[in-house]
């Protein structure tokens, strides 16, 4: 190869290496500012001082908080940003959070100290949006700097133990009414709306019972889908509705 071809080949290799590797190390931790950018907790009140001597208690609280948020219906991004903001507000920096399916792992590695890694698995879920709203208010107050760890633990326990604003039977009936109204809006008659009302309540009760038996969510969804489809085909077979849809 000529000298010009060698120079071109070397330049092409350098360009390819730059494109593949990038300018930043692939495993470098993101700063708190970058990780919370665009979230409701973009500017947390961060404690300044030495490393928290009771960091384990703070991490336990953060895991309990994340478990509660998951159980009440929060998404993974909400949980991650809440953990990062809360731990930063309570004096812990360089927290790494890993959320996989139904598990939450937190790693805290203070300089020149023994790192701490904790894992929590969420094994049950419930739709409790009133409780989730209380938890979000708690996170906001912690990030604003107005709530310490002990007070935060007490308020989280109150949010968990407080009763739901509506009884379970009322929620079930409300879902049935919603299904009946939805069918009516789509053009269904009174019979179709009544069928939707009864079927929705039946599926809700089935899902609740399977939840008590600790049946995995996948099989619960499959069983409820089968029940709805079987009911629709059965009613269509006996000419009680115009079509299975």
26 in a domain, yes or no? Answer: no
- Structural domain ending residue among the three candidates 161, 180, 205: 161
- Does one domain contain both 67 and 157? yes
What value, to the nearest 5°, has the Cα angle with vertex 153 and ends 82 and 98? 35
Q: List all residues 6 or more positions away from 178 whose beta carbon is below 8 Å from its beta carbon.
A: 200
Whether residue 154 is predicted with pLDDT greater than 90 in this model: the reply is yes
Whether residue 195 is predicted with pLDDT greater than 50 in this model: the reply is yes
Residue-level pLDDT at 187:
84
Whether residue 230 is predicted with pLDDT greater than 60 in this model: the reply is yes
- Does one domain contain both 110 and 214? no
Quote the number of domains for the chain.
Answer: 2
Residue 201's nearest CA partner among 221, 240, 228 is 228
- Does one domain contain both 151 and 172? no
Q: List all residues 6 or more positions away from 244 whose beta carbon is below 8 Å from its beta carbon.
A: 229, 232, 233, 235, 236
Region 174-192: mean pLDDT is 89
Report pLDDT digits (tens) over 77-136.
999 999 999 998 998 877 899 998 789 999 998 877 888 999 998 887 788 889 999 999
244 in a domain, yes or no? Answer: no
- Does one domain contain both 141 and 193? no
Q: How confident is the model at residue 42 (pLDDT cuts 50, 70, 90)?
A: low
- Cβ atoms 76, 100 nearer than 8 A: no
| Residue 134 or residue 3, greater confidence | 134
- Structural domain ending residue among the three candidates 133, 161, 189: 161
49 in a domain, yes or no? Answer: yes
- Does one domain contain both 90 and 179? no
Percent with pLDDT over 70 in the chain: 76
Report pLDDT digits (tens) over 47-68.
554 445 688 999 999 999 999 9
Residues 39-78 as b/e (b if ≥16 CB within 10 A, e otherwise) read: bebeebebeeeeebeebeebbbbbbebbbbbbbbebeeeb
Q: What is the mean pLDDT of the chain?
A: 82
- Structural domain ending residue among the three candidates 161, 189, 215: 161
Residue-level pLDDT at 133:
93
- Does one domain contain both 102 and 151? yes
| Residue 3 or residue 198, greater confidence | 198
187 in a domain, yes or no? Answer: yes
25 in a domain, yes or no? Answer: no
Two tokens, residue 56: 């384990």
Percent with pLDDT over 90 in the chain: 38
76 in a domain, yes or no? Answer: yes
Q: List all residues 6 or more positions away from 148 whose beta carbon is below 8 Å from its beta carbon.
A: 90
* Owning domain of residue 188: 168-237
């Amino acid at each position: 190869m000529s000298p010009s071809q060698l120079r071109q080949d070397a330049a092409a290799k350098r360009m390819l290496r730059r494109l593949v590797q990038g300018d930043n190390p692939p495993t470098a931790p993101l700063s708190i500012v970058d990780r919370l950018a665009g979230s409701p907790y973009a500017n947390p009140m961060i404690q300044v001082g030495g490393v928290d001597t009771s960091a384990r208690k703070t991490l336990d609280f953060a895991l309990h908080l994340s478990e509660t948020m998951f159980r009440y219906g929060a998404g993974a991004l909400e949980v991650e940003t809440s953990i990062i903001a809360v731990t930063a507000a309570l004096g812990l920096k360089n927290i790494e959070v890993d959320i996989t399916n139904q598990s939450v792992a937190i790693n805290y590695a203070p300089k020149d100290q023994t790192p701490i890694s904790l894992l929590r698995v969420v094994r049950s879920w419930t739709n409790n949006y009133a409780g989730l709203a209380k938890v979000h208010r708690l996170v906001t107050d912690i990030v604003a700097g107005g709530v310490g760890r002990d007070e935060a633990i007490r308020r989280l326990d109150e949010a968990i133990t407080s009763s739901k604003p509506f009884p379970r039977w009322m929620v079930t009936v409300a879902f049935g009414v919603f299904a009946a109204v939805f069918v009516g809006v789509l053009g269904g008659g009174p019979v179709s709306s009544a069928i939707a009302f009864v079927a929705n309540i039946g599926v809700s009760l089935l899902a609740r019972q399977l939840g008590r038996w600790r049946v995995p969510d996948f099989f619960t969804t499959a069983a409820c889908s089968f029940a709805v489809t079987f009911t629709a085909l059965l009613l269509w077979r006996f000419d009680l509705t115009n079509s299975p849809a």
